[in-house]
Amino acid sequence: MVKSSTQTVTLEEFLEFPETKPTKEYIDGQIVTKPMPRGKHSIIQGTLVSAINNTLKPQKIGLALPELRCTFANRSIVPDIAVFSWNRIPVDDNGDIANIFNSYPDWTIEILSPGQNQTLVTGNILHCLNNGSSFGWLIDPESRSILVYPCNQQPQLLDSSSDIIKVPNIFSDFKLTVGELFSCLKI
């Protein structure tokens, strides 16, 4: 993630730009490019979205969405996984899921990429927590560990295989250990 130095556009102008690969975010008036996902990032993202949805979607408790643009509180960010409680998923006139999400995810999940600036990613998680989200995860494939950020609390580092990773209370049907999370890396 690299902060561009000389961009001065408004959030409204930024949102008019076409989407790009890699993804761009709008943070504190600056346009920031997320790294392109590589193998480890990608498999964790895919596996975790599936696992969360397998538990929460059939019961209409929540929905995990990968690479979803969330625009709120003067930032436009794209968490690696954004989990919304069912009743907060915006819908259009047909009752279909909306295209534009102008709100915070209840649970934001970021997966570190090699060389990515972790402070900026942490800043996005804190931005979510300061504006309505109840929970953040920061997954570090390199150190096989995960930083859990509950709203208004001190974060927690989990790095033992048997550690059960905390989730927001409303999603407590979903249970996962650190070992289970990283087992998807093994081919």
Interface with a second copy by CB under 8 A: which residues? 3, 28, 112, 117-120, 122-123, 126, 129, 138, 140, 142-143, 145, 147, 149-157, 159
Q: How far is the CB of 124 from a second copy (least distance, A)?
A: 9
Q: How far is the CB of 7 from a second copy (least distance, A)?
A: 16
- Comparison of 57 and 132: residue with beta carbon closer to a second copy: 132
The DSSP letter of residue 86 is: G
Q: What CA–CA distance (Å, rounded) separates 97 from 63?
A: 11
- Comparison of 29 and 39: residue with beta carbon closer to a second copy: 29
Task: Taking the CA atoms of 81, 84, 86 and 90 in sequence, report the sign of the dihedral they define.
Answer: negative
Q: How far is the CB of 59 from a second copy (least distance, A)?
A: 29
Strands (E), 93-174: 107-111, 135-140, 145-150, 156-158
- Comparison of 27 and 63: residue with beta carbon closer to a second copy: 27
List the end-to-end C-alpha distance of the chain, in Å, as a whole number: 28
Whether omega before 22 lies within 30 degrees of 0, making that bond cis, reads yes
- Comparison of 152 and 169: residue with beta carbon closer to a second copy: 152
Q: How far is the CB of 89 from a second copy (least distance, A)?
A: 26
